[in-house]
Structure 1
């Protein structure tokens, strides 16, 4: 009887001192990289530019736009297997690093206006590449920025921009607009709306 009681006591002691596998697993801290992988990606932030083989040309310029206290960063990056077949990304990033505007343009969008400068009916690939690179170099020229964004004689035209946004922007004498040509004659113009807190397209600025 004494030996049986002693054996039972030893078995109980061993069982009580054994580690609880469920508790150990729950209390283990996950590696830092696992926790980071679960965090949502900030797609509004501009990724760091790396020396990728498909990056053909990048043009940058700083100009007052969404704020009068700090300039925004305007970037036009052309990527692809060739200049004439590439795709350009136009982005505007504010002083805080937030992308406030993004638009995709094809190399054809940058090349189309070349027809107005051609002496003949066709151009070599080298000439086309030269023209696209020139367009990119001049994309953020000072002449493409205007203050105020809306001229004193401009009248509201129903369309993409609603009247309250237009009226509010019209009251901003120091507002800035940026214009750029897409294709042959599509002259686009954008500005920062203090009412909507975003970039808006201004109407009535065709080719």
Structure 2
């Protein structure tokens, strides 16, 4: 049986155009599926991040510039910084930094260490949180009073101290020969009065 050529031509044309149309339709549907349901998020706000820094939890700071490790040279920076959730629950860091920027002494003090001497000032059995906080702030503010620095660090006639924190005899005797050496004395807790000095022999801060 013969098929008329004019009947076959439309079928061939339809077959040749079908793959292209299907391919384009598939791409269109894939692209639609890949479109996000919500608009793109805006870029992060960097100005808010700049407002946060490592000192964000600093509550109270005391600073004093005083001669210490270089009696005849440049002064050191004494700093006490209280950080934490609140003044009564924080922790303080006591540091001494020399003129080159090196920290030559570091000690941690709890809020209880700083608050303990308040018992000697109380006129009632208890104190309110506001009174305790006021004492803590004053205590930190006055931590580096000029009267707490003295020279020489070790008087010539001073007897060698006893106790686990005493320096060795060589360090003690060396300081006794240095009339320009400087001692710093501070109170921890109610009765723990500590004294420190820079030892040129040891090249470090020592307890006296």
* TM-score normalised to structure 2 length: 0.71
Unaligned runs of 5+ in 1: 1-49, 203-207
Q: Counterpart of 1:180?
A: 186
Aligned partner of 2:205 among 196, 199, 204: 199
The answer to whether the Cα contact below 8 Å between 2:91 and 2:108 also exists between their aligned partners in 1 is yes
Match in the other structure for 1:56:
59
Is residue 2:118 matched to residue 1:114? yes
Q: Is 2:143 aligned against 1:139?
A: yes
Q: Residues 8-37 of structure 1: CA distance to partner in whole angstroms, max 9, x if unpaired?
A: xxxxxxxxxxxxxxxxxxxxxxxxxxxxxx
Q: Is the 8 A contact 2:61 2:141 kept in 1?
A: no
Alpha-carbon distance, 1:59 to partner: 0.8
Match of 1:190 in 2: 196
Distance 2:138 2:155 in 1: 29
Aligned to 1:20: none
Paired residues of 2:150 and 2:183 also in contact (CA < 8 A): yes
- For residues 91-170 of structure 1, the aligned pairs below 5 Å read 91-159=95-163, 160-170=166-176
Structure 1 runs (4+) deviating above 2 angstroms are 50-53, 157-160
User: Would you say the 8 A contact 2:114–2:136 is kept in 1?
Assistant: yes
Superposition CA RMSD, Å: 1.1
Q: What secondary structure is seen at the aligned counterpart in 1 of 2:101? A: coil
How many residues were matched structurally? Answer: 153
State the 1:200 CA deviation.
0.1
Displacement of 1:158 in angstroms is: 4.0
Task: Give unmatched runs, 5+ long, in structure 2.
Answer: 1-52
| Larger of the two Rg values belongs to structure | 2
2:177 aligns to what?
Answer: 171
